[in-house]
Amino acid sequence: MCGISLSSSDWIALASLVVAVAAFVVTWVTLKEAEDDWRQMKWFDLYFKADEAYNTLEKYQTVYKSQPVPQTVLQMHDWNDLMFRIRQVHTMADVFPKNTTIDLLFASTVSFQNPANAFDPNRLPQMMEALQGLRDRAKLKQKVLKRPRYLD
């Protein structure tokens, strides 16, 4: 042995250092999980808004399939509601990094210069493909869904 003897205050300092390192590791892991959860929530928020826009477009197409140009005040109101929802989706999607999922979403929701564009037969399938990409990114992780046994 090298003959180093530690006083009680040295042992306390060493124990404090170990506790501080352990606390740092736990904090870092917790922060990483919180960041991952936050990112997933942002994808879910965008998915939810895009799904609202999809459902609004599907309703608009179903209700007004024989009237591509607004002919009533109610139809104009529904058209404005659809445009409002699409603008909300674009506002949210604009702040996401450029990637394939966001590109698909924009490709499926642009070119609504006039109400007749809403009846493009490819529009809903394109939006559904974009929604699937958003859904994949927004899915809850298994660990979030697992409940501790003591809660059962």
CA separation for the pair 127, 50 (Å, rounded): 8
What pLDDT, on a 0 to 100 scale, did the predictor assign at position 3?
63
User: Is residue 145 very low, low, confident or very high in pLDDT (cuts 50, 70, 90)?
Assistant: low
What pLDDT, on a 0 to 100 scale, did the predictor assign at position 50?
97
What pLDDT, on a 0 to 100 scale, did the predictor assign at position 133?
95
Structural tokens at position 35: 């960041």
Contact present, 46 and 134 (Cβ < 8 Å): yes
**Structure confidence by residue, pLDDT tens digits, 13-37:** 889 999 999 999 988 888 888 788 8
Q: Does the pLDDT of residue 86 top 80, yes or no? A: yes
Q: Does the pLDDT of residue 1 top 60, yes or no? A: no
| DSSP reduced 3-state for 85 | helix
Residue with tokens 């959860």: 37
What pLDDT, on a 0 to 100 scale, did the predictor assign at position 2?
61
What pLDDT, on a 0 to 100 scale, did the predictor assign at position 21?
92
What pLDDT, on a 0 to 100 scale, did the predictor assign at position 149?
65
What pLDDT, on a 0 to 100 scale, did the predictor assign at position 9?
87
Q: Does the pLDDT of residue 148 top 70, yes or no? A: no
What pLDDT, on a 0 to 100 scale, did the predictor assign at position 123?
93
Residue 90 CB coordination number (10 Å) = 16
